[in-house]
Every structure is written in C-alpha cells, then in structure tokens.
C-alpha cells in the first residue's frame, strides 16, 4: 500500500512521465516475503536516444530499471530491501536466459549523508552530473542525492521529488515553462498532492515553506482549465453563430459557450478535489458538483472555502439542488 501522499505523488508523477517511453509497473510484487517495487520501468524496443525533454531522467530510463523514490533518506533496512528487490529481478532475468541489459536500481533520496553513501561503497558517477553516485558494479545501484543536483533544466524532473527549497525552486521552474501536456500534467499532480497533504492534516514545516509555490501551481492549473474552457466556448459560439446565420446567434453562442466552458473547467477541478479527499465520487456527490458549478462566479467564490472542509455527506446535503447557498 502507498505509505504517504508523497509516495502516491511520486509514483503517479514518474508513471505519467515515463509511460510514453516504455512499460511502467507501479508496486510490482515479487515472490517470497511480500515486497513491492515502487516503480519498474522497461523501455520500449527501438528507443535508442534518451527523451531530451526529460533530461537526466531520460538518461536513466535507457535500460530496465527500478526507481525507488524516498521522501526521507532511506535507512539501512530500507537500503537492504531495495538491494534485495534488485537481486531478485536479476536472478529472474538469468532464469529467463537474459543476461543483458540487467536492471539497474536507482534510489532517489532528498539528501544523502556520507554514512549512507559509504555503506554502499558509492562514489560520484563519472558519467552523470554532480549528485549521482555509483556503487560497485555487482550491486548495479545508483543513488541520486537530489539536493546535490545542479539547478539546470536537465535535472528539473528529478528535483521536483526533492524537499524544501529544492522542490520549491523546481516548482517555480515548471511554472516558467511554455504550455505543454507535460507541464499541465505535472501541475495537476502537484495540485492533487497539495490537496492530499492539506486534507489529511499532515502538513509539515517544509510543505508550509512551499505553500506559495504550490498555491501558484494551483492558480496556474485552474487558469489553464479556464482558458481551455474559453477556447471551447468560443468555438461553440462561432459554430452556433454560423449555423443560425445571425449576429445575435453568434453573440448568444459566445456567451453560452464561455459559461459552459467555465462550468466544465470548474467541474474537472471539483471532481479531482473530491476524488483526492474522499477516494471516490459517487452519484450523489456528482449531483452536488453539478449544482455547485451552476452558481455564479461570485457565489462560487463565496462557498469555495467550505468545499475544502465539509464531509461528503455535508456537501451532498448542502449543495444538491442548490441555487443560491448562503
């Protein structure tokens, strides 16, 4: 099971980034005593060059690999567990007659002490940026000390898994990127993680320090949804206007299209919010969402803070079939 909201975020984030380039298995089970690999990646055949948009992460996924992201530096027991998972996969490769390429283990940790590195005989990797450490060949393991990675575009997608100011600067860098599906999906996952942290009451000091960066990510994410809604609304308006052949039809179509686009954007936002908060969105809660998004912008802004604190039952009771809640 997922240990923390960070585990859920890290797995979903890496899965979405890597799926276009190979087979991704989240929480892959291995035989024997119950153990799960956080994320197992096997590149698609024929992909010879690393995806440039993923930088260092793109280099890592050139060969089959286990990715084990940690919110806190792993202790000795966790390191041994990671190594055991890799050894099992290597043994399975040999059983299947596969000797090359053998899977590599990548431990992604926010910080790495000298004690942690020396316990694995890890030294700076000569083929990677600062912050990446290689262990003896027999272990087939690399350690990424995220706080030591240089602040360059090539390390951005790994620095998002860091802590404190490291992650904050990475979020700010994502916000500066041009619009793309990758940027949009990353912001969506960051927003969902922030909601999960807030609603489970486990906000820590470092998350509080990132509040402004996370808030900006949320605003940017919602702005993107609103913009998509406006574009769809304008298209609807133009189509309606052409079909009716009247200027009044065009004007009405634009207005109705913009309103419909806004409602659709808010509906997506609320659905994701309630899905993270409650784990599911049943029919009754869906009806409440439909009622909420039908409100005027002023009424919606007034009741929005309550949407973050009320239980599912309270939301259904207060917002099913509403027209103008107080």
Residue by residue, DSSP assigns 12-35 as: HHHHHHHGGGEEEEEEEEETTTTE
Which residue do the tokens 């979903």 mark? 12
4-18, 132-146, 166-180: lowest mean pLDDT where?
A: 4-18
Give 142's pLDDT tier (boundaries 50, 70, 90). Answer: very high
> In angstroms, what CA-CA distances link 124 with 117, 131, 134?
10, 7, 6
Write down the pLDDT at residue 248: 43
- DSSP structure string for 114-128: HHHHHHTT-EE-TTS
The mean pLDDT of 223-236, rounded to a whole number, is 52
Angle between helices 181-199 and 5-18 (to 10 degrees): 170
Q: Is the pLDDT of residue 106 over 90?
A: yes
Q: Closest Cα to residue 162, out of 71, 75, 79?
A: 71
Give 130's pLDDT tier (boundaries 50, 70, 90). Answer: very high
The SS3 call for residue 146 is: helix
> In angstroms, what CA-CA distances link 18 with 38, 122, 125?
14, 26, 23
* Domain boundaries defined on the chain: 5-162, 215-319
111-115, 163-167, 175-179, 214-218: lowest mean pLDDT where?
A: 214-218
Q: Is the pLDDT of residue 39 over 70?
A: yes
Q: Which has more confidence, 220 or 97? A: 97
Give 247's pLDDT tier (boundaries 50, 70, 90). Answer: very low
Residues 228 and 230: their CA atoms lie apart, in Å, by 5
Strand duo 123-124 + 132-134: pairing: antiparallel
Q: What is the DSSP letter of 44?
A: P
The mean pLDDT of 88-110, rounded to a whole number, is 87
Q: Which has more confidence, 109 or 325? A: 109
* H-helix or E-strand spanning residue 93: helix 76-95
State the number of CA atoms in the 13 A half-sphere of 237 facing the CB. 20
Residues 173 and 154: their CA atoms lie apart, in Å, by 12
Residues 118 and 76: their CA atoms lie apart, in Å, by 12
Write down the pLDDT at residue 321: 61
Share of the chain above pLDDT 70, in %: 68
The SS3 call for residue 38 is: strand
Give 162's pLDDT tier (boundaries 50, 70, 90). Answer: very high
Q: Would you give the distance in Å from CA 226 to the centre of its chain?
A: 20
Q: What would the pLDDT profile of 52-86 be if each residue is shown by its tens digit? A: 789 999 999 988 999 999 989 999 889 998 898 89
Q: Is the pLDDT of residue 16 over 70?
A: yes
Write down the pLDDT at residue 258: 47
Write down the pLDDT at residue 238: 40
Write down the pLDDT at residue 131: 96
Which residue do the tokens 């007034």 mark? 302
Tell me the two tokens of residue 184: 């949009």
The SS3 call for residue 244 is: helix
The mean pLDDT of 267-276, rounded to a whole number, is 73
* Residue 296 falls in which region: left (phi positive, over 0), alpha (psi -120 to 50) or beta: beta
Q: What is the DSSP letter of 113?
A: -
Q: Which has more confidence, 159 or 276? A: 159
* H-helix or E-strand spanning residue 145: strand 141-145
Share of the chain above pLDDT 90, in %: 25
Residues 67 and 108: their CA atoms lie apart, in Å, by 7
Which residue do the tokens 């690399």 mark? 142
Q: What would the pLDDT profile of 287-321 be if each residue is shown by its tens digit? A: 888 888 888 877 776 776 677 678 888 888 888 76
Write down the pLDDT at residue 259: 53
Write down the pLDDT at residue 28: 64
When the pLDDT of each residue in the chain is averaged and rounded to a whole number, the result is 76
Q: Is the pLDDT of residue 144 over 90?
A: yes
Angle between helices 247-278 and 211-244 (to 10 degrees): 150
Q: Closest Cα to residue 113, out of 142, 139, 74, 84?
A: 74
Write down the pLDDT at residue 100: 78
Q: Is the pLDDT of residue 87 over 80?
A: yes
Write down the pLDDT at residue 188: 75
Which residue do the tokens 């949804």 mark? 225
- Check if the beta carbon of residue 300 is closer than 8 Å to that of residue 307: no
Residues 69 and 215: their CA atoms lie apart, in Å, by 24
């Amino acid at each position: 099971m997922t240990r923390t909201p960070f585990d859920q975020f890290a797995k979903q984030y890496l899965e979405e980034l890597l799926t276009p380039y190979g087979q991704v298995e989240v929480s892959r089970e291995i035989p024997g005593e119950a153990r799960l690999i956080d994320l197992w990646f096997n590149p698609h055949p024929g992909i010879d060059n690393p995806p440039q948009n993923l930088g260092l992460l793109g280099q890592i996924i050139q060969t089959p690999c286990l990715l084990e992201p940690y919110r806190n530096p792993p202790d000795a027991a966790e390191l041994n567990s990671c190594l055991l998972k890799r050894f099992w996969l290597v043994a399975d490769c040999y059983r299947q007659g596969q000797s090359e390429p053998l899977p590599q283990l990548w431990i992604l940790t926010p910080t790495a002490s000298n004690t942690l590195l020396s316990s694995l005989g890890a030294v700076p990797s000569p083929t990677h940026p600062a912050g990446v450490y290689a262990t003896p060949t027999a272990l087939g393991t690399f350690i990424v000390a995220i706080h030591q990675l240089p602040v360059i575009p090539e390390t951005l997608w790994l620095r998002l898994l860091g802590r404190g100011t490291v992650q904050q600067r990475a979020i700010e860098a994502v916000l500066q990127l041009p619009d793309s599906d990758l940027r949009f999906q990353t912001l969506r996952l960051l927003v969902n993680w922030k909601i999960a942290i807030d609603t489970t009451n486990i906000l820590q000091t470092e998350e509080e320090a990132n509040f402004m960066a996370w808030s900006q990510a949320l605003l940017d994410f919602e702005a993107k949804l609103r913009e998509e809604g406006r574009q769809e609304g304008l298209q609807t308006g133009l189509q309606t206007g052409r079909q009716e052949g009247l200027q009044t039809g065009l004007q009405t179509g634009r207005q109705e299209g913009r309103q419909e686009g806004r409602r659709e954007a808010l509906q997506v936002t609320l659905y994701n919010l309630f899905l993270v908060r409650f784990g599911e969105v049943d029919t009754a809660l869906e009806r409440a969402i439909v009622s909420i998004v039908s409100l005027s912008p002023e009424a919606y802004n007034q009741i929005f803070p309550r949407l973050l604190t009320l239980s599912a039952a309270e939301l259904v009771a207060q917002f099913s079939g509403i027209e103008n809640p107080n």
